[in-house]
Amino acid sequence: SCSIRVGEWAWASALLDEWLANETIGQFYLELFVDRAVLTALRGGDATEDLDRAERLLPGTTDPQYTSYCHWARAWAGFTAGRLSEAQREAEAAAQATNYFEPITLPLAARAALWAGNAPGAAEIVDQMDRSVIKGQATELDRVARRAGIAALEGRRADAISGYREALRGWRGLGLAFDEALTVVDLAAVLAPTEREMTEAQAVIEAARETLRRLGARPLLARLDEATKAAVSSK
């Protein structure tokens, strides 16, 4: 799970394939099927088989985190396929089932709301993130980035640019390459800053594009390309 955020997807995929190559009967294997499903979805593949195998292990479990894991995977599957309302619903359901999933899934729920142009919905989710007792550098940067997106949708462009700059510096400092690249997709999709507004915009977009290519994140790369083309055509 951590390797997704730092951008070590090839290592994670190889390890998961090795672990899941044998017969799996323990319910804790559900997490591994979920992790592989998320990686598959992020790369534009069909995660249905791993999602189904994970959910077949759910009956009889008493720990709600396993239900949250499945919602988390379905949220990413919906998000990468452009089913934003589904992604938001599944991500929120994961946090409702297990409260310590809030920093894992609420940022995705808020991002889905932002991509759908729903600033009030995103703000409600960020308020929930603010109330969470789970704190940390990455969770704070998630809130900064989502607030920047809300500012962008509300037309507060200077606030949005300031927030995105803070988030991108933070992700870079923490070495969270995927979070950095995905925040740039947000930037391009909901703000589309001009060169005058943000002189480094083109450079960070190209860096994000290279990261997403390296990871093989085809749906997100396509969304970045779509956003940048739309910005150019509107000038």
pLDDT digits (tens, 9 = 90+) for 44-62: 999 999 999 999 999 988 8
Amino acid found at 13: S
Half-sphere exposure of 59 (CA within 13 A, CB side): 3
The rounded distance, in Å, linking the Cα atoms of 4 and 11 is 10
Give the 3-state secondary structure of residue 117.
coil
Half-sphere exposure of 31 (CA within 13 A, CB side): 8
Output DSSP code: residue 147. Answer: H
pLDDT at 84: 98
Per-residue burial over 76-94, b = 16 or more CB atoms within 10 Å of its CB, e = otherwise: bbbbbeebbebbbbbbbbb
pLDDT cut 90: percent of the chain above it: 89
pLDDT over 60 at 232, yes or no: no
pLDDT digits (tens, 9 = 90+) for 66-81: 999 999 999 999 999 9
Q: What share of the chain is helix, strand, coil (3-state, %, to 5)?
A: 75, 0, 25
Q: How confident is the model at residue 137 (pLDDT cuts 50, 70, 90)?
A: very high
Question: In whole numbers, what is the pLDDT of the chain averaged over residues?
Answer: 95
Per-residue burial over 17-27, b = 16 or more CB atoms within 10 Å of its CB, e = otherwise: eeebeeeeeeb
Q: How confident is the model at residue 26 (pLDDT cuts 50, 70, 90)?
A: confident
pLDDT at 28: 80
Q: pTM of the prediction?
A: 0.95
Q: How confident is the model at residue 230 (pLDDT cuts 50, 70, 90)?
A: confident
Structure tokens at 21: 């190559």
pLDDT over 70 at 178, yes or no: yes
pLDDT over 60 at 205, yes or no: yes
Per-residue pLDDT, averaged over 85-102, amounts to: 97
pLDDT at 60: 83
Q: How confident is the model at residue 231 (pLDDT cuts 50, 70, 90)?
A: low
Phi, psi of 195 (to 5 degrees): -65, -35
